[in-house]
Amino acid sequence: MKWQWIGLVLFSLTLLPAGLAMASDRVPRRLRGRLAPIRPRGLAVLLIYATAPVNAIPRLAGASPDTTLMCTAIGGALGIAGALVLGFATHRPRHRPPKPARSA
């Protein structure tokens, strides 16, 4: 029980403020170049953060094992979705196809 509280507090103090700041586009100028695109990364961090409360709160509330198992599966799906969004947001194509010549 103690570890769920520690994980929930740790995730809430680290990922939640960072995800909210990035999703609302409030990032210092010096970090904008490294974090572009900012909003999709913020949403990905929030999806990854959502894993912690969805997984921990039913356990802390003493929910039935079936409910706990379902919430664990949902939390895993949220974590995977966050990782996919983060992967797609950070993917930059190496070579762009050449633009077709315009006729005058």
- Average pLDDT of the residues in 29-44: 83
pLDDT given for residue 95 in this prediction: 62
Question: Distance between CA atoms of 37 and 59, rounded to whole angstroms?
Answer: 35
How would you label 28-52 residue by residue, b for 16+ Cβ within 10 Å and e otherwise?
Answer: eeeeeeeeeebebbbbbbbbbbbbb
Of 3-12, 46-55, 86-95, which range is least confident? 86-95
Residue type, 74: I
2-28 residue pLDDT tens = 888 998 999 999 999 989 998 898 888
Q: What local confidence, expressed as pLDDT, does residue 96 receive?
A: 63
Distance of alpha carbon 57 from alpha carbon 5, whole angstroms: 9
* Prediction pTM value: 0.79
CA–CA distances in Å: residue 96 to residues 37, 52, 54, 80: 18, 39, 40, 29
Question: Could you tell me which residue, 99 or 91, shows the higher pLDDT?
Answer: 91
